[in-house]
Structure 1
Amino acid sequence: MQNQTLYKVLSILSILSLIVVILVFAKPFLVPLTFAAILSMLLLPVSNWLQNKGLPKAIAIIISMVLLVSFFALVIFFISWQINDIAGNATKLEDQLAEKYQQLKELISQKFGISAAQQKQMIKEQQASSASRAGSIVTGVIAGISGFLGNTLLVLVYIFLFLFFRSRIKVFILRLVDQENKATALTIVNKTQKVSMKYLSGMFLMIVCLWVMYGIGFSLIGVKNAIFFAILCGFLEIVPFVGNLTGTAVTVAMSLVQGGDMTMVIWILVVYALVQFIQTYLLEPLVVGAEVSLNPLFTIIGLIAGEMLWGISGMVLAIPLLAMAKILFDHVEPLKPYGYLIGEDKKEKKK
């Protein structure tokens, strides 16, 4: 009995280790493929609706993809517009940065006893050591942009193929299981598609709502370039916990640099708290839904594991992949304990 238990534990650890190795070494291939698979689920209702209107499958898929690309192009346009506005005030911003820098030097001198001359010498040494890395950094940035554009094109190709051959992929999955388990497999496939579409479309709608709320809030309290920071805070919501805190921290820092005071900081935090309250208790239950509830512990574990394996892409993909895994766990008898472990008890509705 003990030998069987030990063998089972070792088998699980071996499988997990093999999965980690595959995820790490196959990252360049798997990340675009996974993004395409998830985005294709988001576009599936649009494509089906267009086909029901009488359009050929290929045309319906292309139109749905154009709508997706147009949305991201519009977001990039707004961000670029706001960045140009910030760049237009570069002289004023530079003066404000110089003033903050001078205040920081005086604070360091008073608190730590490091004179202005010593601080200047330390900065010169740091600049000298970093100057040699400037060329490699520029090369890395250019390579990163080229890789991003290449992966974006690859994702679009994958999306089209996933949507075009979706029926064949579904039949393939069903043929992998024996006859007595086909009903369970079909339930898993259908529920995964349904919940994934609801989660992704709900997340999209929630981000738009966050843009509106942050935009109104930041504009009312007088944050400069409010639209830019609203888009930033809303868009970073795709990474739970980390994203909204990062967006708010950037907004606070830039507001201070642009001449804001502690009153402005307090109001930004008030807007953040109010928006988070509305998001948690109104938007998420109504828009995203609770078909797949992941508990906070494994949400954080998933985010950390995703970042370690696939970087930022892993953090973005962690929650949708965990949600899909939970559906599989909940419908396969030996895996049900794992579904319970990563899940969260659904709140009973009051009668």
Structure 2
Amino acid sequence: MAKRANENVPAWLRTSAGWSWRLIALTAAVALVFWATVQVQLVFVAVFLGLVFASVLNPVADFYAKVMPRPLATALAILSAFLVLGGLLTYVVASVAGQWEQLAGQFDTGVQQILQYLESGPFGLSVTVDQINEWINQGRQWLTDNADSLVSQAAQSAGSVFEGFAIFALSIFCTVFFVASGGKMWRWFLDQIPSQHRTRWQAAAGAGWYSFSGYARGTVIIAFVDGVLAFVLLTILGVPLAAPLAVLVFIGAFIPLIGAPLAMIIAAVVALAANGIVTALIVTIGIALIGQLEGHVLQPLIMGKQVALHPLVIGLGVTAGTVLAGILGAIIAVPLMAVAWTVFSTLRGDRPHPELDDEPSGLRDGPLAVAPVVDVPPADPAPGGRTPSDASEETPDK
């Protein structure tokens, strides 16, 4: 009866039903992953940052490991990173302290010029000093009325700062082990997988790590180049606080699509307040050209095909990540999508990175760098043409 009932169901309906329950199961699995990630968001972010740091520091540790033990090379690589970042931060703070008073005076002059332009602007827009004073008084009244909520938000921000330090400390802890003994950790994980599946896991993980490390290292290199070019441009134009603004451009490069434009706007505003509208226009055009150089020259040259995602997919992914997790989601959306697509393509049998075919393990460096995985051959047949597993599954007749 059941067979006859199935014959009465149209083929298209059976096919649609089969795909429907598969899509429902896939959606439920993805939702479960997102829910679990949110529950341990601090740990997830720390591990993600640890992998990013490891992808950047691992080549440095490999270089040091040529003349010293791996643990010492790892410590020296992390110390080198701290010295470089600490030197940049010290330079930025010194620059701000030395030019802050000058910038404050120039900014006040620029604001007065903007107000005068608005009072006699060609577009019929008129803003008087009395109106500005009224807006300032309204702002003060709003601060007085919302003091309690602002205090509570400040307390929440203090908690966020503490969480940020905790995430950073945990990410450094993870980085130490990823760089020093990531291969051993990955080998232990492979040992937990049935031998007949280890080759596919190794190939998929190798391709995924190749995409992730390429994106992370490429982003750092591109952000550094953007920051240097912005610093040179702002210094030539005589814009105050060129170093902090260049660092802002460097940081903005880590946020796809929206980070660099925001940094450009801030730099243009400072240039407008300090040096006038002509300098602001030159800064805007110059940083826009730096963005074009990044998109059309640096990214294809540095990242190559390691992150083969269409710009539409990147835009939708960054938007979805921003909606789900704010700035954090915007930052991690692109590398996660790149890794997911690479792993899926590899498991499907495609070759997203043919350049890895020359290396049996599919891995060049990093926490997943292990020896090639060799499939374990089946056991020799037992007497009578049966394998030992077949013989063990039989039960003697009573």
Q: TM-score range by the shorter chain?
A: 0.7 to 0.9
Alignment of 1:83 with 2:99, yes or no, is: no
Give the C-alpha shift of residue 90 in structure 1.
6.0
Which one-letter code corresponds to 2:215 in the other structure?
Y
Give the C-alpha shift of residue 267 in structure 1.
0.5
Which one-letter code corresponds to 2:63 in the other structure?
W
Q: How does the TM-score come out when normalised to structure 2?
A: 0.74
Structure 1 segment 84-103 matched on structure 2, within 5 A: 84-89=97-102, 91-93=104-106, 95-96=108-109, 99=112, 103=116
Structure 1 segment 160-239 matched on structure 2, within 5 A: 160-239=176-255
Q: From the superposition, tell whether residues 140 and 96 of structure 1 become closer, same or farther in structure 2 (CA, over 3 Å).
A: farther
Report the more deviating stretch, 109-118 or 65-74.
109-118
Alignment of 1:257 with 2:273, yes or no, is: yes
Cα separation, 2, equivalents of 1:304 and 1:135: 31
Larger Rg computed on CA atoms: 2
Q: Which of residues 300, 303, 316 is equivalent to 1:301?
A: 316
Q: From the superposition, tell whether residues 120 and 206 of structure 1 become closer, same or farther in structure 2 (CA, over 3 Å).
A: closer
User: Hey, what does 1:246 align to over in structure 2?
Assistant: 262
Alignment of 1:320 with 2:355, yes or no, is: no
User: Hey, what does 1:281 align to over in structure 2?
Assistant: 296
User: Hey, what does 2:22 align to over in structure 1?
Assistant: 8
- Whether contact under 8 Å (2:268, 2:281) holds in the other structure is no
Alignment of 1:65 with 2:78, yes or no, is: yes
Structure 1 segment 150-165 matched on structure 2, within 5 A: 150-165=166-181
Task: State the Cα deviation string for residues 256-290 of structure 1 (Å, max 9, x = none).
Answer: 233x3321222012202221222222211222222
Structure 1 segment 26-41 matched on structure 2, within 5 A: 26-41=40-55
User: Hey, what does 2:386 align to over in structure 1?
Assistant: none
Q: Which of residues 31, 36, 47 is equivalent to 1:22?
A: 36
Which secondary structure state, in structure 1, belongs to the residue aligned with residue 49 of structure 2?
A: helix
Cα separation, 2, equivalents of 1:158 and 1:225: 35
Which one-letter code corresponds to 1:291 in the other structure?
Q
Cα separation, 1, equivalents of 2:152 and 2:99: 27
Cα separation, 1, equivalents of 2:128 and 2:99: 35
Q: Percent identity?
A: 15
Which secondary structure state, in structure 1, belongs to the residue aligned with residue 306 of structure 2?
A: coil
User: Hey, what does 1:269 align to over in structure 2?
Assistant: 284
Q: From the superposition, tell whether residues 119 and 51 of structure 1 become closer, same or farther in structure 2 (CA, over 3 Å).
A: closer
- Whether contact under 8 Å (2:119, 2:127) holds in the other structure is no
Alignment of 1:49 with 2:63, yes or no, is: yes
Which one-letter code corresponds to 1:226 in the other structure?
A
Q: From the superposition, tell whether residues 156 and 121 of structure 1 become closer, same or farther in structure 2 (CA, over 3 Å).
A: closer
Cα separation, 1, equivalents of 2:174 and 2:339: 19
Cα separation, 2, equivalents of 1:9 and 1:91: 58
Q: How does the TM-score come out when normalised to structure 1?
A: 0.83
Which secondary structure state, in structure 1, belongs to the residue aligned with residue 240 of structure 2?
A: coil
Cα separation, 2, equivalents of 1:5 and 1:319: 28
RMSD of the alignment, in Å? 2.9
Give the C-alpha shift of residue 81 in structure 1.
2.3
Which one-letter code corresponds to 1:72 in the other structure?
L
Q: Unaligned 5+ residue runs, structure 1? A: 340-351
Task: State the Cα deviation string for residues 153-186 of structure 1 (Å, max 9, x = none).
Answer: 1111111122233123222443354433322222
- Whether contact under 8 Å (2:207, 2:346) holds in the other structure is no
Which secondary structure state, in structure 1, belongs to the residue aligned with residue 334 of structure 2?
A: helix
Cα separation, 1, equivalents of 2:118 and 2:282: 27
Report the more deviating stretch, 220-229 or 267-276.
220-229
Comparing both structures, which one devotes a greater share of its residues to helix?
1
- Whether contact under 8 Å (1:24, 1:309) holds in the other structure is no
- Whether contact under 8 Å (1:292, 1:326) holds in the other structure is no
- Whether contact under 8 Å (2:43, 2:167) holds in the other structure is no
User: Hey, what does 2:365 align to over in structure 1?
Assistant: none
Q: From the superposition, tell whether residues 261 and 56 of structure 1 become closer, same or farther in structure 2 (CA, over 3 Å).
A: same
Give the C-alpha shift of residue 14 in structure 1.
0.9
Q: Unaligned 5+ residue runs, structure 2? A: 1-13, 353-398
Which one-letter code corresponds to 2:258 in the other structure?
V
Give the C-alpha shift of residue 107 in structure 1.
8.0
Count of aligned positions: 334
Give the C-alpha shift of residue 246 in structure 1.
0.6
Cα separation, 1, equivalents of 2:105 and 2:261: 27
Which one-letter code corresponds to 1:191 in the other structure?
A
Report the more deviating stretch, 224-233 or 80-89.
80-89
Cα separation, 2, equivalents of 1:100 and 1:24: 48
Structure 1 segment 109-120 matched on structure 2, within 5 A: 111=126, 116=131, 118-120=134-136
User: Hey, what does 2:372 align to over in structure 1?
Assistant: none
